[in-house]
């Protein structure tokens, strides 16, 4: 049974492998690859390979900053995939 207003497809999350429902239109644009914002943030962090500076500046946490930033944008939005 497919909703009439939006074609949907079940896809597997690229991070955790869990199936989730995504819109076909989003998939065609290369979006909707992750089940949640946190999974998208994890994958993008892995892809960039940026683990943060290993110096003594312990008060600054780029990982937390990135997670906070990722939480503010929709996982399927074009903005989420801008460099």
User: Would you state the structure tokens that stand for residue 76, as one six-digit string?
Assistant: 């399927």
Identity of the residue, 38 or 78, whose beta carbon is nearer to Zn ion in the bound complex: 38
In the set 11, 22, 35, 41, which binds Zn ion (CB under 5 A)?
35
Stretch that binds Zn ion, among 1-9, 31-39, 49-57, 64-72 (CB under 5 A): 31-39
Stretch that binds Zn ion, among 29-37, 50-58, 66-74, 75-83 (CB under 5 A): 29-37
The DSSP line for 1-55 is ---SSS-EEEEE-TTT--EEEEEHHHHHTT----SSHHHHHHHHHHHHT-----S
The reply to whether 13 sits near Zn ion by the rule CB under 5 A is yes
Which positions lie near Zn ion, rule CB under 5 A?
Answer: 13, 15-16, 35, 39
């Amino acid at each position: 049974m497919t909703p009439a207003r939006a074609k949907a497809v079940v896809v597997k999350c690229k991070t955790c492998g869990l199936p989730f429902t995504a819109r076909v239109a989003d998939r065609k644009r290369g979006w909707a690859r992750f089940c949640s914002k946190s999974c998208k943030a994890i994958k993008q962090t892995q892809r960039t390979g940026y683990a943060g500076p290993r110096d003594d500046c312990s008060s600054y946490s780029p990982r937390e900053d990135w997670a906070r930033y990722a939480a503010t944008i929709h996982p399927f939005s074009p903005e989420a995939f801008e460099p």
